[in-house]
Structure formats: C-alpha cells, structure tokens
Amino acid sequence: MLNLLETIKVDDGEVFNIEYHQKRFDRTRLELFNSKNSIDLLSLLDIPKKGLFRCRVIYSEDIQSIEYIPYKVKVINSLKVVDSNINYNYKFLNRDELNTLLSENSKFDEIIIEKSGYLTDTTISNIAFYDDNYKQWFTPATPLLYGTMREKLLNNGFLKSKNIKSSEISSYKKVALMNAMIGFKIINPKIER
C-alpha cells in the first residue's frame, strides 16, 4: 500500500498552518487516488494542550493513523551538496532513498540534493538563500517536495523562487531551512560541494 504523511506542528494546543496541510493532503489524495471526498484534518486531531509535538498523519486514500511525537530540533552545522535524481514529489512515508543518501554522507549533519545541476531541498526541509544585492530570500524553483511552510512564505511574498546552481551558493549571504516544524530557520553551516 502506498502510504503518505503530513507532519503538522502542534505547540501548546495550537495547530500551525493547517490550511496548507489540508490543501496538500487534498491535492495528494486527488492526484494519487482520484479521491474527491473531503476529510477535514483539523476535526480529527486530538490536540495536546501542553508541549511541542510533531503530529504525524499517515494516510493513503483514507487516514491510517494519527500520532503525536514530542519534537526535538535537529542541529545542523554542516551540509554537503549531493547529486541525485531522486523523486520525492509527494510526502511519502517511505523515505528509504532519502535516508540512504544521508547515511552515505554521514560525516555531514544534512545534505542538499542537487538534480540536473540545480539545488532542490535537504532530506528534512526546503531551503532558501539570501541575496544581499536584491535584499531577498530565494528558494529553489524546483524543490523535491512542495513544502507547506515554503508555500506559505511564497504566497506572502517573503520568498521568491528561482533556479539555483550549487556553484552559486557562495554568492549568497545566508542560508535558511524551512519545514512545518522549524518554520523558517536561518543557519550558519559549513557547506561542501
């Protein structure tokens, strides 16, 4: 069975960006299962009132399970650009290919996946680079996965998308990771190409 995943941030009883998760959930079910019936995610959540949790909704055409896992931030001090033609355009529960790429580069905290000469994402997040000349954050135009936080920041104009080659990394002043759990987090990693 093809299982997918939505990871939703829940902090002290508050659910974050649920409209973006709902939109991706609906689109994925329609595209992969031709499922047109609506399932309201928020109505199914039994939201913990205290603490920071990663709410994992596992689903195919229907919801398989919902669990709440206490969240711990992954510290990232080093990144390696890795060439791969991996396909992860849906948030699949099976992350074996991503995990293999990361384990093959285990001396680094995380990797940036490069496809056809252009940067995409890390294994856990979308990525953005700050261009000091334009005073603007840019995110790769063709990510591995269209993340919910990336979508929100593009919609509100904070981010712009463009094709970014690994050879251009040094021209950017800052790097940020973004996903449902960390939001938009500026980091200062050592990046190896």
Q: What is the pLDDT of residue 142?
A: 96
What is the Cα–Cα distance from 159 to 150, expressed in whole angstroms?
A: 8
Q: Give me the pLDDT at residue 174, please.
A: 96
pLDDT of residue 1: 79
Question: Which pLDDT score, from 0 to 100, does residue 5 have?
Answer: 97
* Per-residue pLDDT tens digits of the chain, which is 193 residues long: 799 999 999 999 999 999 999 999 999 999 999 999 999 999 999 999 999 999 999 999 999 999 999 999 999 999 999 999 999 999 999 999 999 999 999 999 999 999 999 999 999 999 999 999 999 999 999 999 999 999 999 999 999 999 999 999 999 999 999 999 999 999 999 999 9
Q: Which domains are seen in the chain, by residue range?
A: 4-70 (3.30.470.10), 78-192 (3.20.10.10)
Can you give the chain as a three-state secondary structure string? CCCEEEEEEEECCEECCHHHHHHHHHHHHHHHHCCCCCCCHHHHCCCCCCCEEEEEEEECCCEEEEEEEECCCCCCCEEEEEECCCCCCCCECCCHHHHHHHHCCCCCCEEEEEECCEEEEECCCEEEEEECCCCEEEEECCCCCCCHHHHHHHHCCCEEEECCEHHHHHHCCEEEEEECCCEEEEECCEEEC
Q: Are 54 and 181 in contact (CB under 8 A)?
A: yes
